Amino acid sequence: MVFRRWAPPCRLIRAALAAGHGTRAANQTKDTPMKKCLMVTLLTLALPVSLMLSQVSAEEVDTVAPVVVKTVPEAGSKDVAPGIVEIKVTFSKEMTDQSWSWSTAWQNSCPDFIGKPRFDTDKRTCIVKVKLEAGKTYGWWLNSGRFHGFQDTGDRAAVPYLLVFKVKD
């Protein structure tokens, strides 16, 4: 049914190709009319979707769950300095103070905390001081399937995020 719906544009494209439009350079491989029809059809389908996604209203953005937008150290880092450091996690929205969920990613994946986590004055960045050992890989789930402590001011739990990094030797 979808194929029939898109058949007329494909016929138009085939007709344009037969008339010599859309020719390629001599060193490029020739696409069949069906390939070109498929490419244009996919682009035609993608355009309305991208327009819909780019027109999200402010009201809808306010009602979606917060997400992690930045971490320090950056997730996947392999050269984090050992010692006492601050881990910073920045969310897309203002978060509820005194509410967090730093869950182990695997056994012994978390360093020792020095004090309690806290939110910065921007109310979007959670900071925790930890002691990192040289050569060790650390990992946390910031929220998870079981724990939903990171919540925005509208009580929406943040999307779970896996933060993993390695401390240099």
- Which residues, in sequence order, are CB contacts of 97 under 8 Å at separation 6+? 119, 123
What pLDDT was estimated at residue 4? Answer: 39
Residues 89 and 151 in one domain: yes
Q: 120 in a domain, yes or no?
A: yes
Number of domains in the chain: 2
Q: 94 in a domain, yes or no?
A: yes
Residues 90 and 155 in one domain: yes
Residues 50 and 70 in one domain: no
Q: Which residue has the higher pLDDT, 141 or 32?
A: 141
Q: 49 in a domain, yes or no?
A: yes
Residues 95 and 128 in one domain: yes
Q: 90 in a domain, yes or no?
A: yes
- Which residues, in sequence order, are CB contacts of 35 under 8 Å at separation 6+? none
Tell me: cis bond preceding 73? Omega within 30 of 0 counts: yes
Residue 73, pLDDT above cutoff 80: yes
Q: Which residues share a beta bridge with 89?
A: 71, 126
